[in-house]
């Protein structure tokens, strides 16, 4: 069997990885913006990268006052992602600006704040002999931040559902007497925010508990 030359085979592999999105002939665009840190901490040396699909077109780091300004390649991909703090620090959030106008020659992103990530560990424990069902909901500030800088194709409903920055998210659960006596859940949230636990046991009136997120790992136990 005839073997493909190594470089030719590698080229085919890379072409498949990049979905045939080509770098436009010597085309460039300018990327500018600024970053703020919690408590006015220094926002210097935060990485900023422009992607098309999974490929970095160019990247830079912020100055000591949190600004960035760099020239990047352009491609014919259907959209760009401008990712802040992609690799600099796992302790902080990773905002993403989505750009659908890939013909633009200037991306001027608004200021965005990197928030400190935190985790809420919630434990619901049945410590009585109750046979009632527990209904519960936890609402919290999401650590997700995706900002659209322009409008996607209206037919792309999947993209429309992605937008949102540090918004309130929630999920609910039901625990019957046949379930385990301990139910543990955790959510990723923002340091300094507040989560709200609402629960109702059987026909009793619903009750609400506010849980301040004062540390990067916050635990709360509800016994019923």
How big is the CA angle at 20 (ends 15 and 161), to the nearest 5 degrees?
120
- Answer whether 6-112 and 117-150+164-223 agree in fold: yes
Task: Give the tokens for residue 203.
Answer: 């026909």
> Domain segments of the chain: what residues?
6-112, 117-150+164-223
What's the mean per-residue pLDDT of the chain?
88
CATH architecture of 6-112: Sandwich (2.60)
CATH 2.60.40 fits 117-150+164-223, yes or no: yes
- Higher per-residue confidence, 212 vs 164: 212
pTM of the model: 0.83
Residue closest to 42 by CA, chosen among 114, 117, 144, 147: 114
List pLDDT tens digits, range 168-205: 999 999 999 999 999 999 999 999 999 999 999 999 99
């Amino acid at each position: 069997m005839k073997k493909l030359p190594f470089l030719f085979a590698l080229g085919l592999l890379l072409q498949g990885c990049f979905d045939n999105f080509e770098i436009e002939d010597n085309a460039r665009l300018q990327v500018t913006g600024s970053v703020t840190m919690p408590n006015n901490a220094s926002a210097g040396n935060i990485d900023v990268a422009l992607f098309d699909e999974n490929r970095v077109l160019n990247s830079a780091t912020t100055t000591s006052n949190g600004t960035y300004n760099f020239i990047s390649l352009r491609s014919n991909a259907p959209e760009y992602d401008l990712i802040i703090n992609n690799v600099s620090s796992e302790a902080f959030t990773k905002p993403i600006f989505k750009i659908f106008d890939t013909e633009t020659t200037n991306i001027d992103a608004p200021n965005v704040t990197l928030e400190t990530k935190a985790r809420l560990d919630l434990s619901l424990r049945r410590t009585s002999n109750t046979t009632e069902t527990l209904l519960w909901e936890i609402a919290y500030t999401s650590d997700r931040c995706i900002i659209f800088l322009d409008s996607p194709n209206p037919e792309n409903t999947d993209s429309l559902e992605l937008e949102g920055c540090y918004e309130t998210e929630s999920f609910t659960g039901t625990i019957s007497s046949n379930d385990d006596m301990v139910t543990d859940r955790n959510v990723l949230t923002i340091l300094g925010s507040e989560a709200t636990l609402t629960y109702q046991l059987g026909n009793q009136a619903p009750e609400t508990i506010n849980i301040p997120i004062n540390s990067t790992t916050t635990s709360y136990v509800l016994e019923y």
